[in-house]
Structure 1
Amino acid sequence: MMNKESFGACLLLTLPEDVFAVISRFLSPSDICNLILCGKSLPALVDTEKMWLVQCEEVKVLPLLEIVQWRIGISSYKALCRFLVEVVKPLLGIWVQQNPELGNVVYVMPGFLSVVGCRIIPQKVAPSWIQEDRVKWSPVFEIICGFDGSNGFFLHGRDKEGSCLYPGFVMGIEKSCNVLQLDVVPRQEKSSCNEIERGASREEGEIPFWMLAFSDRKNLLNIVTSHVSLHVVEPLNEMLFPTLKYDEAMLVERRTILLKMHKFGGNWKNMNLEEDDQLCYNPMQVKINEMLENLGDDYFFDEEELIEVTPTENTNVLGESSSSKNTTPSQSEIRVSNRQSFLSSGDTFGLGLTASYSEMSYYKGWPYMHFHHFLLYKLPVKKAVDQEAYAGLWGGTIGCPAGKCPKGKTEKSLYLLMLTYEESEEHSERVLIGTKILEGKRYVRHPNGTAMFVVKIDTPSLDPFPVDANETHFENSYSGEGIAEGYSFRYTGSKPGSLFVITNDLLAFVWKETKVVITLQRLNLTEILKKGLGSCVPPLPPSKNFTYMRRSFINEFTKLSTDSSYSE
């Protein structure tokens, strides 16, 4: 008698492939893999190109046309699905840092067989900037997909000679990641060409990179990036994603070059990807221990970390009491010990990118951040739904809707806002919060994370629009408060105002007393960037390009540009 398992497998085998393809839309990639293991006959039905194409569609990060285009450069739809699920989907979205205060917004989007991080630059825009799709951006990083679905990491940056790429390793990506970290990672060197190189496993007592002193981490990153850097010409540095300017053949050629760079380093021009699979060296790594013997410990000395101490009869210059100096290690000794422990944990060192999940606290949608770690934080930008119709990413300028204000300056500072819904502090009603994440002025007026306005979304406003709007129909208007005096994003002053809804994709907030208007439009940055009409701004030096640490109130990302339009 046929058992239940055999009967179930036989029943599946009787289904036409097209019917099973429809059923597979209700299964996850892990479900498909489990089915493959359920019987010898099932792989012929389940583990097919058609099934994995359906799974690639169900990941919902690429349209079908692009999925088919990506298949050209990869071994199978199964390998492509792995890359989409494990790399692309978790990273897509908006990542931020507190500094510089004007805005540090990194938008992660699909490239071409890759996922790319593009920084949206604080800038001025014309009134028709959305229609013309003209946005200034700068490359930050990208993760490319290999022929077998594997991945390779590149950090973007520049040195005195021009733009560079810095190859490294993807150390891990969690599906619900909200923190993106740049590290120097220890690696075990190959002892023979046939051995597989692996990351050094951390033993008990060894110090991870993030526990080192800030200046040590900064110096180690500078050492590694200076040794693995690969100079590139500007077109190669700009072709991160498909646009109207770059056809598929150009993108395929660029990806081939990147795969060679990642595998062969500076010798990539003389190599073929099909050859030399077993290299006895790794161009992405540097033997830091040997280099430090020549540099000496003074290389890690940072005057900014000195703490001034007034010596007394009971205190030495390190701030230790005379009775404890022989038993309690000083900060300097701990720092040196941690550094030595870290450097002894591997034979070679390279760049590493880790995307992990961490429990975080938020204030009006803005995360609390560590300012001395090379981290980017993912913003919880929500998609619009019926009960939260205005949630999402919005961009706009100070000024009325097009054609409704007196003529003035042709260009105005761009604002990017994240609109989120929350319960009021009294939990009595819902509020809509417009959190500023980028400001295009020359000097910042309010820091990242500032709530530009808070609107009582269930309380209609009776205030009129401040200018003649006979031709404009307002669907709704709500009362609230907009930011006023004050600088801190947590304790700013506020003044009464109203939010006017022109359409679900066009809003205007008006400060009642001053009649100042900020007009916002819903944004799809992927569509805007892929038009290719914006301009690419040269990146900063590598570590600064990933996370700008120093507190600054000006536009640090355009200092290297000579374009007069970058300054006010």
Structure 2
Amino acid sequence: MSSDLCGSRLFLALPDDILTIITSSFSPGDLCNLGLTCPGLDSFMSSHKVWLFQCDKLGLVPYTTLIEWRKGVFSYKALCRFLVNIQPMIGTWVHRNPELRHVVYVMPGFLSVVGCRIIPQEIGPLGLEDGPILWTPVFEILCNHVGSTSFFLHGKERGVDYVYPGLLKSVDRDCNVLLLEVEHRHQRGGGKLADLKNFTHEADNEVSSSQRIVGRKWTEKPFICLESDDRELLLEFVTSQVRDIVPDAANVLLFPRPRIDAVDSQQDFIVLHERRLLLLQMYERGNMNHDLKSDEGSPLNPTELGSSEISKSVDCTCNYPASQAAETKEFYSCKHWPYMYESLSAFYKFPIRAPKACDEEYAGLWGGTFGLPPSADKPGKPLFLIYISYEESEGKQQMIANKILDGKSRLSPFNGSTMFIVNIDEPSMTIFPWNTDQQSNPISVMQSFKGEGICYWSRHRYPSIEPGSLFVLENGLLVYLWEHAREVLTLKRLYLGELLKRGERLPSFPPVLNFAHLTS
């Protein structure tokens, strides 16, 4: 072997395809570290092929989408930086609030991720597969040309769509809580923050506790340590100051629609590229069309903070934007539903796992409704989102169905309630009472399990537990039958990302309420 061909030179002498296969098992951090060892390795580790493979390995978007996204960034390395950063946020996030029934699905947009609230709704005439699901945007995180993030909160006030620029504060690798906060941003010499800290004159008999906290104590303690009313007050004030009207060109598409025609798909990409550039320009300008004047129509009059001097000191335009943090917190859960801090403006990640081929094949997200004969596509019936998981109890394997969204106008019971539990090791002896479905097609039952479920029909004053059976049909539907009440819940497996792409977008809530309503 030649003495010139050793060490890194031997490594680099391998064909590029072999090098790509070798480095495919490396993490992005390993690639960056390896590139620091010598100029030759740095050149290879910076190649498009290596970082395109890293982006594809994450599995967040299809390969063809990565090619399209590359047009908006400097390199695949920059794109990989963004994807690695936002990957932990992808998934289903929930809140128990009974008024708004929060379920937010965070999914890839276009060089972005979008938090989409699923609206409680009835099943339309086209059913679950072909009918549009109703949703509204909560927040959006855009990727700029170097792979950094630009955060926007969405909201609607007085009939006008606004975006509220802010910061993506942090994203933990195992994050399970999304928080909306107000972030201090220091300037040289202290800036407005120093002015606010120096504001020490307060008349205790004339200024409320809430106003004193916002005016003084907020600069002395983290946002999370404020009282819930004060946090909501501060969030509403900041969003009333840092906002901009969404231009028509940026208010059409948030992600590409499912298309068969290549020409239509390319037209969507052109619109999305233009929309992204417009929002990034708005974000970078920093001095957008902020509504800094307080008037009777403002969501919050700055003088309600205790003093006009305070409101002047809280210069939201450059120092105090809203921020989103994706953090990891310890909390208990029951049947996979987290016990929540009701006073936090937060979402909690719901651990929806992909089904296993053998022993947990029915795990995952399902949608359906009540009604006879069994059908998951009954027009006019409320849509339920049900998460099915598996758990071992007293040596028995159980299948547990938790409700995470209720399409009824009157919510009963709360989100997170267990709809039914079945023992997958105990077959049901109950005979399925129907031979045909609504279209007179024959029904074939593959399996049945014995279980029990919550029964809360009108004749019951309080919900009760009744025995029942879960039937697995040949067409892929799951049907749970309450034996005494003779009520039926029919479920069909759902893929929210695909449904949202062809869904119907509705107007957002006001910004703070749009994220997560504070309940105490």
Q: TM-score, normalised by structure 2?
A: 0.83
1:206–1:505 Cα change, 3 Å: farther
Aligned to 1:432: 399
**In the alignment, structure 1 residue 547 sits paired with structure 2 residue 516:** yes
Q: Deviations over 1:325-372 (max 9, x none)?
A: xxxxxxxxxxxxxx99x989x992111110011112111111000111
Report how far residue 446 of structure 1 moved.
1.1
Q: 1:207 aligns with which of 221, 225, 239?
A: 221
Report how far residue 402 of structure 1 moved.
6.5
Aligned to 2:209: none
Aligned-partner Cα distance in 1 for 2:253–2:65: 16
1:415–1:115 Cα change, 3 Å: same
Aligned-partner Cα distance in 2 for 1:528–1:80: 26
Q: Deviations over 1:399-455 (max 9, x none)?
A: 2577799xxx7311000011111112xx22011110001111111121111000011
Secondary structure class of the residue paired with 1:260: helix
The one-letter amino acid of 1:540's match is F
Contact 2:374 2:489 in 1 (8 A): no
Secondary structure class of the residue paired with 1:453: strand
Secondary structure class of the residue paired with 1:388: coil
The one-letter amino acid of 1:212's match is L
The one-letter amino acid of 1:393's match is L
1:261–1:284 Cα change, 3 Å: farther
Report how far residue 486 of structure 1 moved.
9.6
Aligned to 2:369: 397
Aligned to 1:73: 72
Contact 1:284 1:350 in 2 (8 A): no
Report how far residue 232 of structure 1 moved.
1.7
Aligned to 2:207: none
Contact 1:49 1:77 in 2 (8 A): yes
- Equivalences for 1:105-184 in 2 at 5 Å? 105-126=103-124, 128-184=126-182
Secondary structure class of the residue paired with 1:187: coil
Contact 1:481 1:496 in 2 (8 A): yes
Aligned-partner Cα distance in 2 for 1:237–1:220: 27
Aligned to 1:256: 277
Q: How many residues align?
A: 473
The one-letter amino acid of 1:44's match is S
Aligned-partner Cα distance in 1 for 2:387–2:519: 24
- Equivalences for 1:501-516 in 2 at 5 Å? 501-503=472-474, 505-516=476-487
Contact 1:228 1:265 in 2 (8 A): no
**In the alignment, structure 1 residue 418 sits paired with structure 2 residue 387:** yes
Q: 2:422 aligns with which of 452, 455, 459?
A: 455
The one-letter amino acid of 1:207's match is K
Aligned-partner Cα distance in 2 for 1:127–1:294: 48
**In the alignment, structure 1 residue 537 sits paired with structure 2 residue 506:** yes
Q: 1:369 aligns with which of 316, 321, 340?
A: 340
**In the alignment, structure 1 residue 95 sits paired with structure 2 residue 93:** yes
Q: Deviations over 1:269-326 (max 9, x none)?
A: xxxxxxxxxxxxxx7999xxxxx997265479xxxxxxxxxxxxxxxxxxxxxxxxxx
Structure 1: runs of 5+ lacking an equivalent: 193-199, 269-282, 287-291, 301-338, 552-568
Contact 1:70 1:113 in 2 (8 A): yes
1:383–1:165 Cα change, 3 Å: same
Identity %: 41
Contact 2:124 2:131 in 1 (8 A): no
Aligned-partner Cα distance in 2 for 1:32–1:400: 58
Report how far residue 19 of structure 1 moved.
1.5
Contact 1:117 1:142 in 2 (8 A): yes
Aligned-partner Cα distance in 2 for 1:98–1:527: 25
**In the alignment, structure 1 residue 229 sits paired with structure 2 residue 200:** no
Aligned-partner Cα distance in 1 for 2:292–2:34: 40
Aligned-partner Cα distance in 2 for 1:168–1:43: 35
Aligned to 1:34: 33
Q: Deviations over 1:147-179 (max 9, x none)?
A: 010111000001114111000011110111000
Contact 2:446 2:472 in 1 (8 A): yes
**In the alignment, structure 1 residue 442 sits paired with structure 2 residue 409:** yes
Q: Deviations over 1:524-556 (max 9, x none)?
A: 1111122x2x321111111000002349xxxxx
Q: Deviations over 1:449-468 (max 9, x none)?
A: 10000111111111111222
Report how far residue 25 of structure 1 moved.
2.2
1:431–1:238 Cα change, 3 Å: farther
**Which region of structure 1 is more displaced relative to structure 2, 224-233 or 56-65?**
224-233
1:140–1:151 Cα change, 3 Å: same
Report how far residue 189 of structure 1 moved.
2.4
Aligned-partner Cα distance in 2 for 1:404–1:238: 31
**In the alignment, structure 1 residue 517 sits paired with structure 2 residue 517:** no
Aligned-partner Cα distance in 2 for 1:102–1:235: 29
Contact 1:230 1:265 in 2 (8 A): no
Aligned to 1:48: 47
Secondary structure class of the residue paired with 2:412: coil
Report how far residue 31 of structure 1 moved.
1.8
1:404–1:397 Cα change, 3 Å: closer
**In the alignment, structure 1 residue 471 sits paired with structure 2 residue 453:** no
Secondary structure class of the residue paired with 1:255: helix
Aligned-partner Cα distance in 2 for 1:52–1:225: 38
List structure 1 segments (4+ residues) > 6 angstroms apart after TM superposition. Answer: 283-286, 401-405
Aligned-partner Cα distance in 2 for 1:465–1:404: 17
Aligned-partner Cα distance in 1 for 2:76–2:375: 49
Contact 1:163 1:234 in 2 (8 A): no
The one-letter amino acid of 1:175's match is R
1:482–1:296 Cα change, 3 Å: closer
**In the alignment, structure 1 residue 63 sits paired with structure 2 residue 62:** yes
1:233–1:513 Cα change, 3 Å: farther
Secondary structure class of the residue paired with 1:169: strand
The one-letter amino acid of 1:348's match is N
Secondary structure class of the residue paired with 1:360: coil
**Which region of structure 1 is more displaced relative to structure 2, 38-47 or 412-421?**
38-47
Q: Deviations over 1:83-142 (max 9, x none)?
A: 11111x111000011113562100000000000000000000136422214100011000
Q: 2:231 aligns with which of 213, 217, 228?
A: 217
Aligned-partner Cα distance in 2 for 1:428–1:467: 33
Q: TM-score, normalised by structure 1?
A: 0.76
Aligned-partner Cα distance in 2 for 1:83–1:348: 25
